A and B are shown apart, each in its own frame.
Chain A
């Protein structure tokens, strides 16, 4: 009995409906401080601002990883006077600091002239530094055995292509000027470019 009573209290008979409020005049919506429409437009603005600030933070963080000053040897450097290098010599003075060999040759088939070219010391296989073997007249990489002729053309080992040459010219004071930011690749036919060879 009491149980029935309790269940009946769960769903009591609906009380008489309260008098319906008069329909709110449309002016009331305008008077309200935050309307649905303005709420969503503010939300959209907030999301745009949030996304923009996140993108800015991401950009700043990425930029942080790239310093303004590099304490590395500059890509362009003067390498002494041409007559300091003998014909047929591989000059290793700039290997340690600038990763460049200067090679003076009596005749270069690509430039069709005699002179000096700047050869990159970065092995085109996987980026180690080969050694110049004077006795065998070849560049030999200690990492995986790639071998290059004095011209820079590969002939043995796993390397797929020749060493790269850098832009070389004479500075105003008569010194050799090497520009490592411009490189020339034999397999692209770029070694015949005048900038890749210093004619003497």
Chain B
């Protein structure tokens, strides 16, 4: 009668990587996640692409030219990668940063000096710069390869909105350190909203919106006010920009990015060389 030690030894002697693999693949946990086996034909691979919530955004087949760096510069992919980096680092920064007049500036300083891995805020900042550059280069590449032409004109427009969202994310993030540079840059930048047609109190048409002597569009009811939550860049502006930067704009951008990627597949994959 073999004792317990011998039985364990016997079990391990019979073990092999393929057996372990088989055991894993037959387990209930594995089969609940991957319901079909490894696809072994083109048709099955295509069905996997179409059936997966993540993979279906991607084209089933990619042209050889589509993965050539000299053609795409991979700028769209780099932009998306940087967006993921910024989302992750931004999430980490949110554990320390408090968007109030009292704490905003010192929290940013403490993020550098009092927190382990003090480069996290630097990664976020440089990543943001890099993303703006990558977006512009992506747009330049798409323009120079004529990839905005039908049937891709819709996706070009989605891309233009994503460019604006990227710039707005940069703009809203710029205020959050709450230093002199930030306050005055946002003061200058948000002054543009004064000139919004009909919605800005110095814009064209605003003077027409009047009830008797009372002007409906004034400096406490116009687009700039809605953006800043006040007549000047103060506590309200900091909080509003924080919410827009961390929640509002990334949500819209993420939604549009899903459409942007999916439309590449719908429009026949990455455009071929001219």
**B226 at the A interface (CB under 8 A):** yes
Cβ contact within 8 Å between B229 and A128: no
B145 at the interface (CB under 8 A from A): no
Contacts A65-B226, A70-B220; is A127 near B231 (CB within 8 Å)? no
Please determine whether A127 and B191 come into contact, CB atoms closer than 8 angstroms.
yes
Q: Is B184 an interface residue (CB 8 A)?
A: yes
Closest chain-A Cβ to B196's Cβ sits at a distance in Å of: 14
Segment 58-72 of A: residues with Cβ below 8 Å from B:
62, 65-67, 70-72
Q: Find the A residue at minimum CB distance from B234.
A: A72
> Judging by beta carbons under 8 Å apart, are B184 and A70 in contact?
no
- Whether A70 lies near B188 (C-beta < 8 A) is no
Chain B contact-residue range equals: 10 to 19
CB of A126 closer than 8 Å to a CB of B: yes
Residue numbers in B under 8 Å from A127 (CB-CB): 187-188, 191
Question: Does A143 make an interface contact (CB < 8 A)?
Answer: yes
Taking the nearest CB of chain B, how far is it from the CB of A142, in angstroms?
8
List chain B residues, Cβ under 8 A from A67: 229
Q: Is B72 an interface residue (CB 8 A)?
A: no
Q: Given contacts A66-B221, A70-B231, are A126 and B226 in contact (CB under 8 A)?
A: no
Contact assessment for A65 and B229 in the assembled complex, using a CB-CB cutoff below 8 Å:
yes
Chain B positions 201 through 237: 1 when the CB is less than 8 Å from some CB of chain A, otherwise 0: 0000000000000000000110001100111101100
The count of A-to-B residue pairs whose CB atoms sit within 8 angstroms is: 28
**CB within 8 Å for A128 and B230 given contacts A66-B221, A66-B225, A70-B220:** no
- In the complex, what's the smallest C-beta–C-beta distance from A154 to chain B, in angstroms? 17
Q: Of residues 123 to 175 in A, which have CB atoms within 8 Å of B's CB atoms?
A: 126-128, 143
A: interface residue count bin = 10 to 19
Please give me the residue from chain A that is nearest to B180 by CB atom: A142
How distant is the Cα of A62 from the Cα of B184 in the complex, in angstroms? 27
* Interface pair A66/B187, CB less than 8 Å apart: no
CB distance from B250 to the nearest CB of A (A): 19
Say yes or no: A66-B226 contact (C-beta < 8 A), given A127-B191, A143-B188: yes
Q: How far apart sit A71 and B220, CA to CA, in the bound complex (Å)?
A: 12
User: CB-CB < 8 A to B187: which residues of A?
Assistant: 126-128
Residues of chain B with a CB closer than 8 A to A72's CB: 230-232, 234
- Across the interface, name the chain A residue whose C-beta is closest to B226: A65
- With a cutoff of 8 Å between Cβ atoms, the chain A residues found around residue B235 in the complex are 71
- Taking the closest CB of chain B, its distance from the CB of A180, in whole angstroms, is 9
Option from A62, A65, A128 in Cβ contact (under 8 Å) with B188: A128
A101-112 CB mask vs B (1 if < 8 Å, else 0) is 000000000000
* Residue ID in chain A nearest B222 by CB atoms: A66
Q: Is the CB of A128 within 8 A of B231?
A: no
Complexed CA–CA distance, A189 and B7 (Å): 103
Query: Once bound together, how far apart are the Cα atoms of A99 and B221, in whole Å?
Result: 20
- A128's closest neighbor in chain B, by CB? B184
Cβ of A99: which chain B residues have Cβ within 8 Å of it? 232
Can you report 14 residue pairs joining A to B where beta carbons are below 8 Å apart? A66-B220, A66-B225, A66-B226, A70-B231, A71-B235, A72-B234, A99-B232, A126-B187, A126-B188, A126-B191, A127-B188, A128-B187, A143-B184, A143-B188
Beyond the given A62-B226, A99-B232, please list 12 additional residue pairs across the A-B interface where CB-CB is below 8 A: A66-B221, A66-B225, A66-B226, A70-B230, A71-B235, A72-B231, A72-B232, A72-B234, A126-B187, A126-B191, A127-B188, A143-B188
Query: Which 4 A-B residue pairs are closest in the complex by CB-CB distance?
Result: A126-B188, A127-B191, A65-B226, A127-B187
Task: List A residues at the B interface (Cβ < 8 Å).
Answer: 62, 65-67, 70-72, 99, 126-128, 143
